[in-house]
Amino acid sequence: MKKIIELLAKILRVFVPRRFGHLLNYETVSYLFFGGLATVVGLGTFALFIYVFGMSVAVASVVSNALAIIFAFVTNKMFVFESPSWQAGVLIPEIVKFGASRVFTTIVETLALVLLVDVMGLHAMVMRLITMVVIQVMGNYVLSKWVVFTKRENGNNTHGNGE
């Protein structure tokens, strides 16, 4: 998997200005790649629950979002931030912090949308796209990198990428 992501990063660097090429490293490209897959999981399971199993929209939304978040956690842990430990002392805090960070960015995004759309009267879909990228994608990456999958106090690196 690592070789595929590194190849994808090299290909993507061709399309961005040289001064931004360093941003397309294994970690950021794998985060975007697996984030895209998590989106597919969320949308795919939502459609499956609605159209195949006949679930209500509310139940389908909650369950599909939960599955997408679980998928995102596992792929972020294993492939993006390479946190090797599955011991409870590492895993449980990571799960709690990951879930809390997702809830936090969802709340911030919702408040931003209310302000931008309902108060300021800006276009809802444009603001949703902007807040999704700035708050959800970038915010979740920063929180995952610096809060969720971090170095342990005793010097052990839980994400194993040398940082």
| pLDDT digit string, tens, across residues 66-103 | 999 999 999 999 999 999 899 999 999 999 999 999 99
- CA-wise closest residue to 152 among 93, 69, 95: 93
Dist CA 56 CA 137 (whole Å): 28
Which amino acid, 162? G
Scanning the structure block, which residue is given the tokens 């294994």? Answer: 26
Angle (deg, nearest 10), helices 88-113 and 124-131 = 150
> Furthest-apart CA pair in the chain: how many Å?
50
| pLDDT digit string, tens, across residues 112-130 | 999 999 999 999 989 989 9
| pLDDT digit string, tens, across residues 151-163 | 655 444 444 444 3
